[in-house]
Amino acid sequence: MTIETTKEEIVTDFPGQDKRFIFGPNRVVMTRRDGTILQERNDPEESFKGQLRETPWDDLHVAYFQGEALWTYLNTPFLYTQEGFQTQEIASIVVDGETWRRLKITFPEHIKSHSREQISCFGPDGLIRRHDYTVDILGGATGLNYATDYREVGGIVFPTKRRIYAYEGDYQLVPEPLLVKIDMGEITVS
């Protein structure tokens, strides 16, 4: 994956396959490595309207969802300083004996992400511990996104593991099932 930081774009290559996803907020494309377009969808968010939990996804649904999710995850918290983001510190919480400061973020309309309003929780060391949100295109499904196993790359500290669970009520973890597991290997910054 190649993630842009100044515009909302991710290019995902599939090793051993002649396939590439290109995610943008208003268009997703599946191409061959030489650029030949295989499939494309303008206004991909619209394709989720009316879907139910059991509605199957096509490749472009996957490209859009992983694009909006990973662009946010991998640019957090830096993207909060971009024009149009509104932030507000809200009440801290204590999780497993550690105090987490919380920042409520309102995303600008032009950024596609899970929802307009999200919360990032930071530990005493200033590193993100958890990212809380609902997923609008999935009917408001809930997510507690835990960030762990930090590694420094090019002077920037990245969480290399993400575990995402649902929550109920006032951000109460639903431990089963694990919804998403992300483990990052090689990371480069250029």
Can you say whether the dihedral through the CA atoms of 159, 48, 80, 177 is positive or negative?
A: negative
CA-nearest of 48, 39, 184, 32 to 112 is: 48
Give strand pairing partners of 106: 86, 117
Per-residue confidence in pLDDT tens, the chain, 190 aa: 999 998 999 999 999 999 999 999 999 999 999 999 999 999 999 999 988 778 899 999 999 999 999 999 999 999 999 999 999 999 999 999 999 999 999 999 999 999 999 999 999 999 999 999 999 999 899 999 999 999 999 999 999 999 999 999 999 999 999 999 999 998 988 8
Please calculate the CA angle 107-28-141 and round it to the nearest 5 degrees: 50
Domain 85-190 belongs to what architecture?
Clam (2.50)
Q: Write down the pLDDT at residue 51.
A: 84
Domain ranges of the chain: 1-75, 85-190
CA 118 to each of CA 10, 96, 126: distance values in angstroms, whole numbers, following the listed order = 21, 22, 18
Question: φ, ψ for residue 165 (rounded to 5)?
Answer: -125, 160
Q: Among all chains, which residue has been given the structure tokens 């649904």?
A: 61
Amino acid 31 reads: T
Residue (of 116, 112, 174) closest to 143 by Cα position: 174
Q: What is the DSSP letter of 47?
A: G
Whole-model pTM?
A: 0.92
